[in-house]
Amino acid sequence: MQKNNLRFRSFRTGHTFPSKYLLAAALFMVSALSFLSLMTGRYPLSFSLLLSGDTQAVRVFVTLRVPRTGMALLGGFGLGIAGYVFQTIFRNPLASPDMIGVSSGASAGAAFGILFLSSGAFAGGLSVTASAFAGGLLAVFLTLALGTLVPGKGSASMILAGIAVHSLAQTFLMILKLLADPEKELASIEYWLMGSLGAVTLKRLPVSLILGLGCVAGLCLLHRQLLLLSLEESESRMLGVPVEKLRFAVLLLATLLTASIISNTGLISFIGLLAPHTARLLSRDNRFPTLLLSGLWGSILLLAADILARSAGAGELPVSIFTSLLGAPFLIYLVVRSDHP
């Protein structure tokens, strides 16, 4: 465990606040941003307007704002938790779910759905969502299968397998782009790749909610075992930890969680990297409250980015523009800090 703590020591600065205060502050920020998200958009809402029974206001609130805000909460929380898991398992502060191909697989699956399943008997947004989810799962299972073919290599073989699967998925995606109509399908594919919460509806939310909460609950229950995986593999085996089986289970839960989110929202960049680091900078440890704090900061970041995406311009902008604007400077900061411990 000592080695894992040293990995994150270079990012520790300032005074340590008790975990309960950090969690309370994060919950307050999530609540405030959720309220702002529910009221912000092309059609501004207010409590007085909703209480007056205005039909259009109620319809906008129920059909648009509630599912969108719910997905921002769930999506940010899930991506923050997944980022914490990957950084802990791989003992790498720059690790994210992208490492084992889930994002590239979902992208290829979404492009396939837009190109071949968005018309005829399969028409509708749910077909693209299902195709993206299936693509993400296929990439994950392929990575995990390839990673287990090289016994004794552990995390290194998983990362190499993820790079290979990512390359295959990107090649398939490029082929699909070449086949797409530049004025129709190609534009839809590119917009999906930039990420947006605008297409989330009440019909899509329950499945993602159930699957996402189930994966989060499983990862919370496995937190102690997750910390054991952050040790060197020889040390973990000496403690009686079934390293391969446990790593497979934890990575599967984390990638299922990620796939259930990005299949609905498109690619959301930097949340899985930024949220766990923010949590560790504040808590200065890797305990269970930091896991929860990573999820809460993911919700904060995605809620804030989505509010900006709705209000920064005349039309709605892709949410990944704003998550990248937040994440890129922080990534530069991490690089600078790593050179000056």
pLDDT tens-digit series, residues 134-191 = 998 898 888 888 877 765 556 677 788 888 898 999 999 999 999 988 878 888 898 8
Task: Specify the higher pLDDT residue, 56 or 150.
Answer: 56
Task: Kindly indicate the confidence band of residue 236, based on its pLDDT and cuts at 50, 70 and 90.
Answer: confident
Please answer whether residues 64 and 338 qualify as being in contact, where contact means their C-beta atoms are separated by less than 8 angstroms. Answer: no
The number of folded domains in the chain is 1
Please answer whether residues 299 and 76 qualify as being in contact, where contact means their C-beta atoms are separated by less than 8 angstroms. Answer: yes
The mean pLDDT value for 333-339 works out to 65
For the beta carbon of residue 148, count every other beta carbon within 10 angstroms: 15
Amino acid at 98: D
The mean pLDDT value for 39-65 works out to 85
Q: Is the pLDDT of residue 122 over 60?
A: no
**Three-state secondary structure string covering 249-290:** HHHHHHHHHHHHHHHHHCCCCCHHHHHHHHHHHHHCCCCHHH
Burial class (CB in 10 A: 0-12, 13-18, 19+), 220: middle
Degrees (nearest 5) of the Cα angle 256, 150, 254? 15
CA distances from 67 to 20, 62, 198, 264, 327 (A): 29, 8, 9, 11, 25
CA distances from 321 to 78, 165, 188, 233, 309 (A): 20, 26, 17, 38, 8
Look at 60-69, 301-310, 311-320, 330-339 and tell me which has the smallest mean pLDDT.
330-339
Please answer whether residues 254 and 86 qualify as being in contact, where contact means their C-beta atoms are separated by less than 8 angstroms. Answer: yes
Q: Three-state DSSP class for 196?
A: coil
pLDDT of residue 172: 93
pLDDT of residue 152: 56
DSSP state of 100: G
Instruction: Report percent pLDDT > 90 for the chain.
Output: 28
Q: Is the pLDDT of residue 1 over 60?
A: no
Compute, in degrees rounded to 10, the torsion defined by CA atoms 313, 315, 318, 321: -20
Instruction: Go through 195-215 and write b for each residue having 16 or more CB atoms within 10 A of its CB, e for each that does not.
Output: bbbbbbeeebbebbbebbeeb
- Give pLDDT tens digits for 285-328: 888 999 999 999 999 999 999 999 988 877 788 898 888 887 77
DSSP state of 14: S
Q: Which of 320, 336, 333 is nearest to 270 (CA)?
A: 320
pLDDT of residue 337: 66
- What tokens does 293 get? 């704090």
What's 39's domain CATH number? 1.10.3470.10
| Domain that residue 300 falls in | 2-339
pLDDT of residue 338: 55
pTM: 0.86
**Distance from CA of residue 261 to its chain's centroid?**
7
- Give pLDDT tens digits for 268-291: 888 988 899 889 888 888 889 999
Q: Which of 85, 65, 110, 41 is nearest to 205 (CA)?
A: 65
Q: Which of 130, 93, 101, 97 is nearest to 113 (CA)?
A: 130
Q: Three-state DSSP class for 195?
A: coil
